Structure 1
Amino acid sequence: MMDPTRAILGTYGQVFIDGVWQTNINHLEASVEVEKRELKLAGAEWTVHKLGAKKGTGTMSGYKVTSDMIQKGFAKFEVINKLADPESYGFERIRLINCVADKIQLANWTAGEEVAEETAFTFEGYELLDPITAN
């Protein structure tokens, strides 16, 4: 049975861009999708699959506090995602390699409201630096 205290809360998530902690970011999502080719083989009852190219996509968002993403433009950057809930079995760090913004948000504000900034991006690889494992 799962110990509920071991469930990881996103409250303790951190994002580092090119090694700098982005304290303003409060949401990060990244995933890898793989192309699959269907193969139908003579004499086989089942369709089988051959794996093809992978595609990494992500989105990060939070409060706008600097012009860093505008200045970065479409240059490549590195993201390190860290989850470190103090009650979990440890912490996890994943490095996203060769990230590039899909678009740059130049303006998006409303009087009287905090300015949010969202950046969708692609990446060309990842590395699990520190896995979480149950003791």
Structure 2
Amino acid sequence: MAQGPGLDPSRVILGTFGQAYIDGEWQTNINHLDAVVAIDKRELNLVGHNWVQFKIGAKRGTGTMSGYKVTSKMIQRDFSKFDILSKLDDPEAFGHETIRLIRCMPDQVQLANWTAGEEVTEETPFTFEDYELLDPIDGP
């Protein structure tokens, strides 16, 4: 049986083309960024239903950014809030995706983490209070 055309591998987005901006400044040292939103699902046991029903409660945004240490800006920023702009712009993709993470706050600030002869990396876990999908990738 013949199958359809399937996925065009050239359209798969590579993280190589990701960019992170903190308050508008491109973070060329960042090579990893993840952000997720989780919801507090409230279980409801309603009469007339033998299935548990769910209501969406509060949302919680968490993430981590990491990369090479090149400045002391994260230490200087301390625990003040900032926005992160995440942009994926693979030239072979169907478009680019830009997401703004709003009012990010570090969970911890890394003061030191080094080993002789190795590149110094920096990892910052954070929470955020909202997000906005600015440029979605819609496809063909």
Instruction: State the TM bucket, normalised to the shorter chain.
Output: over 0.9
User: Which residue among 84, 95, 113 is the counterpart of 1:79?
Assistant: 84
Q: Hey, what's the Cα distance between the residues in 2 that align with 1:9 and 1:103?
A: 29
The alpha-carbon deviation at position 42 of structure 1 amounts to 1.1
For 1:55, give the aligned amino acid. Answer: R
CA distance in 2, matches of 1:63, 1:134: 33
Question: Match of 2:111?
Answer: 106
- Report Cα offsets for 1:90-116 as digits up to 9, x if no partner: 100000000000010000000000000
Give the length in aligned residue pairs: 135
Equivalence for 2:138: 133
Question: For residues 93 and 48 of structure 1, what CA distance do their matches in structure 2 show?
Answer: 34
Structure 2 match to 1:122 = 127
Aligned to 1:40: 45
Is the radius of gyration larger for structure 1 or structure 2?
A: 2
Structure 1, gaps ≥5 residues long: none
Q: How does 1:1-40 map to 2 (within 5 A)?
A: 1-40=6-45
Normalised by the length of structure 2, the TM-score is 0.95
CA distance in 1 between partners of 2:23 and 2:76 (Å): 14
Cα deviation, residue 2, structure 1: 1.2
* Structure 2 counterpart of 1:122, one-letter code: T
**CA RMSD, aligned part only?**
0.5
Identity of counterpart residues, as a percentage? 66
The match for 1:62 among 52, 61, 67 is 67
Give the unaligned 5+ runs of structure 2: 1-5
